[in-house]
Amino acid sequence: LLERGGFGQTFFFPAEVLGLTFKTPKGRVVRAGGVVVKNVQGYDLVRPFVGSFGLLGKVLEVVFRLRPGQASVFLKRPFTGEFPELTPHPRFLFALLEEGRWWLYAFHFGHEKEVARFQEAFGGEEARPLDLRPLFPQGMGVGEGPLKDLRFSWADGGRAPEPPEAFRKLAEAL
């Protein structure tokens, strides 16, 4: 999840990771961030790591920001091929191909009244919890596949996006 930068979220996922420990491709163990990040000096390695598709290493430990919600809803409706603009904006939004038909899934949490407004705006029906592991036995990678979000289409074991030159240099330095 961290190496891919999450999937389906409609927010900046790296900001939800306060700290992590990872092993670089050269075998070094690096600790970045922490439990509370205040008055930090030096380079921020947390944000570049999230979404690096393993180029910077493998995660060993992670500290997430907690965002408690009083209510939540997980909904689905037929997908028309376009991601809608919704208010309030769901925390997660993705399309999934199931038995030959595309469905739009949305998950939102927060204050009860906000969740109710979202449910009314989205419509659809309550969705059951999903287990996507059978669709991606070799891991999620970028490519044409059964799941789409606002960034990519996801395929089983698909490739990672081509990193920029500056990012490759960072990986080599670690």
Q: Domain count of the chain?
A: 1
Q: What is the pLDDT of residue 43?
A: 67
Record the pTM: 0.73
Residue 37 has a pLDDT of: 56
Residue 23 inside a domain? The answer is: no
pLDDT at 123: 96
- Under-70 pLDDT residues of the chain: 1, 4-11, 13, 36-43, 69, 158
| 170: Cα separation from own chain's centroid | 22
163 token code pair: 């990193």
pLDDT at site 68: 74
Q: What is the CATH number of the domain that holds 133?
A: 3.30.70.2560
pLDDT at 140: 81
Q: What pLDDT shows up at residue 100?
A: 96
SS3 3: coil
